Amino acid sequence: MFMHNKNLMYTVRVAEPDPKLASLMLEQFGGPQGELAAALRYFTQGLADEDPGRKDMLIDIATEELSHLEIIGSIVAMLTKGVKGKLAEGAEEVTDLYADIAKGNGSHTLALLYGGGPALTNSAGQLWTGGYIDSIGEPTADLRSNIAAESRAKIIYERLINITPDPGVKDALTFLMTREVAHQKMFEKALYSIENNFPPGKLPGNPEYTDKYYNMSQGDGDMRGPWNQGEQWEFVNITPDQAPVSGGDGNPSVRLAAEEMKAVNEAAKRTMSRTDVNPVTGADLGAGPGSGKMTPVK
Protein backbone atom coordinates (compact mmCIF):
# COMPACT_ATOMS: atom_id res chain seq x y z
CA MET A 1 0.00 0.00 0.00
CA PHE A 2 1.34 3.40 -0.96
CA MET A 3 0.44 6.68 0.68
CA HIS A 4 1.46 10.12 -0.53
CA ASN A 5 2.65 12.97 1.63
CA LYS A 6 1.96 16.27 -0.13
CA ASN A 7 5.23 17.76 1.10
CA LEU A 8 8.26 17.26 -1.11
CA MET A 9 11.08 15.19 0.36
CA TYR A 10 13.35 18.22 -0.10
CA THR A 11 12.23 21.84 -0.28
CA VAL A 12 12.84 23.35 -3.71
CA ARG A 13 13.07 27.09 -4.37
CA VAL A 14 13.22 28.17 -8.02
CA ALA A 15 14.33 31.76 -8.61
CA GLU A 16 12.65 32.29 -11.98
CA PRO A 17 11.22 30.34 -14.94
CA ASP A 18 13.74 28.92 -17.40
CA PRO A 19 12.26 26.63 -20.12
CA LYS A 20 15.68 25.79 -21.52
CA LEU A 21 16.88 24.54 -18.14
CA ALA A 22 13.61 22.65 -17.69
CA SER A 23 14.28 20.66 -20.84
CA LEU A 24 17.69 19.63 -19.55
CA MET A 25 16.17 18.56 -16.22
CA LEU A 26 14.02 16.04 -18.08
CA GLU A 27 17.11 13.83 -18.35
CA GLN A 28 16.52 12.85 -14.72
CA PHE A 29 12.74 12.64 -15.10
CA GLY A 30 12.29 10.41 -18.15
CA GLY A 31 15.84 9.56 -19.16
CA PRO A 32 17.66 6.22 -18.88
CA GLN A 33 19.51 7.30 -15.73
CA GLY A 34 16.49 9.13 -14.33
CA GLU A 35 14.40 8.67 -11.23
CA LEU A 36 11.48 6.83 -12.84
CA ALA A 37 13.78 4.19 -14.30
CA ALA A 38 15.50 3.80 -10.93
CA ALA A 39 12.23 3.53 -9.01
CA LEU A 40 10.80 0.85 -11.28
CA ARG A 41 14.10 -1.04 -11.48
CA TYR A 42 14.36 -1.38 -7.69
CA PHE A 43 10.62 -1.87 -7.17
CA THR A 44 10.43 -4.83 -9.53
CA GLN A 45 13.62 -6.30 -8.08
CA GLY A 46 12.20 -5.96 -4.58
CA LEU A 47 8.96 -7.70 -5.47
CA ALA A 48 10.87 -10.74 -6.73
CA ASP A 49 13.64 -10.92 -4.11
CA GLU A 50 13.30 -13.79 -1.65
CA ASP A 51 15.69 -12.28 0.89
CA PRO A 52 13.63 -10.23 3.41
CA GLY A 53 16.45 -7.77 4.12
CA ARG A 54 17.18 -6.99 0.47
CA LYS A 55 13.45 -6.84 -0.31
CA ASP A 56 12.94 -4.20 2.37
CA MET A 57 15.95 -2.19 1.19
CA LEU A 58 14.92 -2.31 -2.47
CA ILE A 59 11.32 -1.23 -1.78
CA ASP A 60 12.54 1.58 0.50
CA ILE A 61 14.95 2.89 -2.11
CA ALA A 62 12.38 2.50 -4.89
CA THR A 63 9.90 4.56 -2.89
CA GLU A 64 12.53 7.21 -2.24
CA GLU A 65 13.27 7.35 -5.96
CA LEU A 66 9.59 8.16 -6.57
CA SER A 67 10.04 11.03 -4.12
CA HIS A 68 13.02 12.17 -6.16
CA LEU A 69 10.91 11.92 -9.32
CA GLU A 70 8.42 14.26 -7.66
CA ILE A 71 11.19 16.74 -6.86
CA ILE A 72 12.54 16.74 -10.42
CA GLY A 73 9.03 16.95 -11.87
CA SER A 74 8.22 19.89 -9.61
CA ILE A 75 11.41 21.66 -10.72
CA VAL A 76 10.46 21.19 -14.37
CA ALA A 77 6.93 22.45 -13.74
CA MET A 78 8.17 25.56 -11.91
CA LEU A 79 10.78 26.32 -14.55
CA THR A 80 8.07 26.27 -17.23
CA LYS A 81 5.30 27.93 -15.24
CA GLY A 82 5.56 31.27 -17.06
CA VAL A 83 5.49 29.67 -20.50
CA LYS A 84 2.61 27.43 -19.48
CA GLY A 85 0.45 30.43 -18.68
CA LYS A 86 1.36 32.19 -21.92
CA LEU A 87 0.53 29.08 -23.92
CA ALA A 88 -2.82 28.68 -22.21
CA GLU A 89 -3.86 32.30 -22.61
CA GLY A 90 -2.13 33.24 -25.88
CA ALA A 91 -0.53 36.18 -24.12
CA GLU A 92 2.05 36.94 -26.82
CA GLU A 93 2.31 36.94 -30.56
CA VAL A 94 3.05 33.44 -31.85
CA THR A 95 6.56 34.24 -33.10
CA ASP A 96 7.55 36.02 -29.89
CA LEU A 97 6.16 33.23 -27.76
CA TYR A 98 8.00 30.59 -29.80
CA ALA A 99 11.27 32.46 -29.39
CA ASP A 100 10.68 32.79 -25.66
CA ILE A 101 10.00 29.06 -25.35
CA ALA A 102 12.82 27.77 -27.51
CA LYS A 103 15.64 29.95 -26.22
CA GLY A 104 18.06 28.22 -28.56
CA ASN A 105 17.29 24.57 -27.85
CA GLY A 106 14.53 21.96 -27.98
CA SER A 107 12.53 23.24 -25.02
CA HIS A 108 9.70 24.14 -27.42
CA THR A 109 8.91 20.40 -27.59
CA LEU A 110 8.33 20.33 -23.85
CA ALA A 111 6.12 23.39 -23.94
CA LEU A 112 4.13 22.80 -27.12
CA LEU A 113 3.53 19.06 -26.79
CA TYR A 114 3.20 18.80 -23.01
CA GLY A 115 1.86 22.23 -22.10
CA GLY A 116 4.83 23.09 -19.94
CA GLY A 117 4.36 20.09 -17.66
CA PRO A 118 7.05 17.48 -16.99
CA ALA A 119 7.16 14.91 -19.77
CA LEU A 120 8.31 11.31 -19.65
CA THR A 121 11.13 11.97 -22.09
CA ASN A 122 14.83 12.58 -21.82
CA SER A 123 16.35 15.99 -22.55
CA ALA A 124 16.41 15.22 -26.28
CA GLY A 125 12.71 14.35 -26.41
CA GLN A 126 13.16 10.55 -26.53
CA LEU A 127 10.16 8.85 -24.93
CA TRP A 128 10.73 6.88 -21.75
CA THR A 129 10.86 3.13 -22.31
CA GLY A 130 10.71 0.02 -20.17
CA GLY A 131 13.90 -1.03 -21.92
CA TYR A 132 15.72 1.16 -19.38
CA ILE A 133 14.95 -1.52 -16.75
CA ASP A 134 17.84 -3.97 -17.04
CA SER A 135 17.11 -6.32 -14.13
CA ILE A 136 17.91 -9.97 -14.75
CA GLY A 137 16.62 -11.66 -11.57
CA GLU A 138 20.01 -12.67 -10.13
CA PRO A 139 20.76 -10.60 -6.98
CA THR A 140 24.53 -10.43 -7.45
CA ALA A 141 24.13 -9.26 -11.06
CA ASP A 142 21.28 -6.84 -10.30
CA LEU A 143 23.07 -5.28 -7.34
CA ARG A 144 26.13 -4.63 -9.51
CA SER A 145 23.88 -3.10 -12.14
CA ASN A 146 22.25 -0.95 -9.47
CA ILE A 147 25.66 0.27 -8.28
CA ALA A 148 26.52 1.27 -11.85
CA ALA A 149 23.11 2.93 -12.32
CA GLU A 150 23.56 5.05 -9.20
CA SER A 151 27.05 6.02 -10.40
CA ARG A 152 25.72 7.11 -13.79
CA ALA A 153 22.87 9.06 -12.19
CA LYS A 154 25.34 10.90 -9.96
CA ILE A 155 27.36 11.94 -13.01
CA ILE A 156 24.21 13.28 -14.74
CA TYR A 157 23.36 15.28 -11.62
CA GLU A 158 26.91 16.66 -11.54
CA ARG A 159 26.54 17.83 -15.13
CA LEU A 160 23.17 19.43 -14.40
CA ILE A 161 24.59 21.18 -11.34
CA ASN A 162 27.48 22.55 -13.40
CA ILE A 163 25.16 24.18 -15.95
CA THR A 164 22.47 25.38 -13.52
CA PRO A 165 22.61 29.11 -12.72
CA ASP A 166 19.69 28.98 -10.25
CA PRO A 167 21.04 28.54 -6.67
CA GLY A 168 17.78 27.01 -5.40
CA VAL A 169 17.68 24.42 -8.18
CA LYS A 170 21.38 23.72 -7.69
CA ASP A 171 20.76 23.10 -3.99
CA ALA A 172 18.00 20.56 -4.72
CA LEU A 173 20.13 18.83 -7.36
CA THR A 174 22.98 18.55 -4.86
CA PHE A 175 20.64 16.75 -2.46
CA LEU A 176 19.52 14.34 -5.19
CA MET A 177 23.12 13.74 -6.30
CA THR A 178 24.16 12.99 -2.73
CA ARG A 179 21.39 10.44 -2.30
CA GLU A 180 22.80 8.58 -5.31
CA VAL A 181 26.03 8.25 -3.33
CA ALA A 182 24.15 6.89 -0.32
CA HIS A 183 22.24 4.37 -2.44
CA GLN A 184 25.43 3.14 -4.06
CA LYS A 185 26.87 2.44 -0.60
CA MET A 186 23.71 0.56 0.39
CA PHE A 187 23.80 -1.62 -2.71
CA GLU A 188 27.49 -2.37 -2.21
CA LYS A 189 26.86 -3.44 1.40
CA ALA A 190 24.02 -5.69 0.27
CA LEU A 191 26.19 -7.21 -2.48
CA TYR A 192 29.14 -7.96 -0.22
CA SER A 193 26.80 -9.36 2.42
CA ILE A 194 26.24 -12.26 0.01
CA GLU A 195 28.98 -14.84 0.48
CA ASN A 196 30.60 -16.03 -2.74
CA ASN A 197 28.99 -13.19 -4.72
CA PHE A 198 31.38 -13.67 -7.64
CA PRO A 199 30.98 -14.92 -10.30
CA PRO A 200 27.26 -14.13 -10.61
CA GLY A 201 24.91 -17.07 -10.67
CA LYS A 202 25.46 -20.66 -9.64
CA LEU A 203 27.55 -22.30 -12.36
CA PRO A 204 31.35 -21.96 -12.02
CA GLY A 205 33.51 -20.75 -14.85
CA ASN A 206 35.72 -23.16 -16.79
CA PRO A 207 39.10 -22.91 -14.99
CA GLU A 208 40.88 -23.34 -18.32
CA TYR A 209 39.77 -19.81 -19.28
CA THR A 210 38.99 -17.89 -16.07
CA ASP A 211 42.57 -16.63 -15.59
CA LYS A 212 43.66 -15.95 -19.18
CA TYR A 213 44.10 -12.48 -20.65
CA TYR A 214 43.93 -12.49 -24.44
CA ASN A 215 45.93 -9.65 -26.00
CA MET A 216 43.79 -9.26 -29.12
CA SER A 217 44.39 -5.54 -29.82
CA GLN A 218 48.10 -5.30 -30.51
CA GLY A 219 50.44 -2.50 -31.52
CA ASP A 220 51.37 0.89 -30.14
CA GLY A 221 49.56 1.44 -26.89
CA ASP A 222 49.82 -2.12 -25.53
CA MET A 223 49.77 -1.83 -21.75
CA ARG A 224 50.24 -4.15 -18.81
CA GLY A 225 48.52 -3.64 -15.47
CA PRO A 226 46.82 -5.49 -12.63
CA TRP A 227 44.15 -6.53 -15.12
CA ASN A 228 46.57 -8.63 -17.19
CA GLN A 229 49.79 -9.27 -15.28
CA GLY A 230 50.92 -10.91 -12.06
CA GLU A 231 50.37 -14.36 -10.61
CA GLN A 232 46.62 -14.12 -11.17
CA TRP A 233 46.87 -13.87 -14.96
CA GLU A 234 48.22 -15.86 -17.87
CA PHE A 235 48.98 -13.36 -20.65
CA VAL A 236 48.32 -14.77 -24.13
CA ASN A 237 49.31 -12.94 -27.31
CA ILE A 238 46.88 -13.71 -30.14
CA THR A 239 48.69 -13.86 -33.50
CA PRO A 240 47.19 -13.71 -37.01
CA ASP A 241 47.77 -17.44 -37.44
CA GLN A 242 46.41 -18.24 -33.98
CA ALA A 243 44.48 -21.50 -33.76
CA PRO A 244 41.20 -21.46 -31.81
CA VAL A 245 41.85 -21.25 -28.07
CA SER A 246 39.79 -24.42 -27.64
CA GLY A 247 41.81 -26.38 -30.20
CA GLY A 248 40.55 -27.75 -33.51
CA ASP A 249 40.62 -26.04 -36.89
CA GLY A 250 38.09 -23.30 -36.11
CA ASN A 251 35.48 -24.56 -38.55
CA PRO A 252 31.95 -25.03 -37.18
CA SER A 253 30.46 -28.50 -37.53
CA VAL A 254 27.19 -30.29 -36.93
CA ARG A 255 26.22 -33.95 -37.25
CA LEU A 256 23.30 -34.57 -39.58
CA ALA A 257 21.33 -37.67 -40.50
CA ALA A 258 21.90 -38.95 -44.05
CA GLU A 259 18.51 -37.67 -45.26
CA GLU A 260 19.17 -34.22 -43.79
CA MET A 261 22.62 -34.08 -45.33
CA LYS A 262 21.21 -35.01 -48.73
CA ALA A 263 18.68 -32.16 -48.54
CA VAL A 264 21.37 -29.68 -47.51
CA ASN A 265 23.62 -30.72 -50.39
CA GLU A 266 20.78 -30.49 -52.91
CA ALA A 267 19.85 -27.01 -51.71
CA ALA A 268 23.50 -25.88 -51.90
CA LYS A 269 23.79 -27.24 -55.45
CA ARG A 270 20.55 -25.56 -56.55
CA THR A 271 21.55 -22.15 -55.15
CA MET A 272 25.26 -22.25 -56.07
CA SER A 273 26.74 -19.06 -57.57
CA ARG A 274 28.80 -19.59 -60.71
CA THR A 275 32.34 -18.23 -60.74
CA ASP A 276 32.94 -18.57 -64.49
CA VAL A 277 30.51 -15.84 -65.62
CA ASN A 278 30.17 -12.07 -65.21
CA PRO A 279 26.44 -11.40 -65.59
CA VAL A 280 25.03 -8.00 -66.51
CA THR A 281 22.93 -6.73 -63.63
CA GLY A 282 20.30 -4.08 -63.14
CA ALA A 283 22.96 -1.80 -61.69
CA ASP A 284 24.94 -2.17 -64.92
CA LEU A 285 21.90 -1.34 -67.03
CA GLY A 286 21.05 1.76 -65.06
CA ALA A 287 24.59 2.98 -64.43
CA GLY A 288 25.26 6.71 -64.63
CA PRO A 289 27.95 9.17 -63.53
CA GLY A 290 29.60 8.19 -60.25
CA SER A 291 28.79 4.48 -60.59
CA GLY A 292 32.42 3.38 -60.70
CA LYS A 293 33.57 0.48 -62.84
CA MET A 294 30.67 -1.55 -64.25
CA THR A 295 30.24 -4.63 -66.44
CA PRO A 296 30.04 -3.55 -70.11
CA VAL A 297 26.53 -3.91 -71.59
CA LYS A 298 26.74 -5.59 -75.00
| Rg of the chain in Å (alpha carbons) | 29
Of 26, 35, 28, residue with least CA distance to 125: 26
118 neighbors 29 (Cβ within 8 angstroms)? yes
Closest CA to 122 of 29, 17, 203: 29
Give me the amino acid identity at 276: D
Rounded alpha-carbon distances, angstroms, from residue 17 to 13, 81, 254: 11, 6, 66
68 labeled binding residue: yes
Q: Is 108 annotated as a binding residue?
A: no
171 marked as binding residue = no
Q: Tell me, what amino acid is at 148?
A: A
CA-to-CA separations, 193 to 44, 98, 197, 261, in angstroms, rounded: 21, 55, 8, 54
H-state helical runs in the chain: 19-25, 27-30, 35-48, 52-79, 81-89, 94-102, 107-114, 139-163, 167-192, 258-270, 282-285
- The reply, when asked if residue 50 is annotated as ligand binding, is no
| Annotated binding-site residue? 49 | no
Distance CA 25, CA 14 (A): 13
Q: Is 234 annotated as a binding residue?
A: no
Find out whether 4 is annotated in a ligand binding site: no
Q: State the binding site for Mn(2+).
A: 35, 65, 68, 150, 183
Annotated binding site: 35, 56, 60, 65, 68, 150, 183, 215, 217, 219
Annotated binding-site ranges for Ca(2+):
56, 60, 215, 217, 219
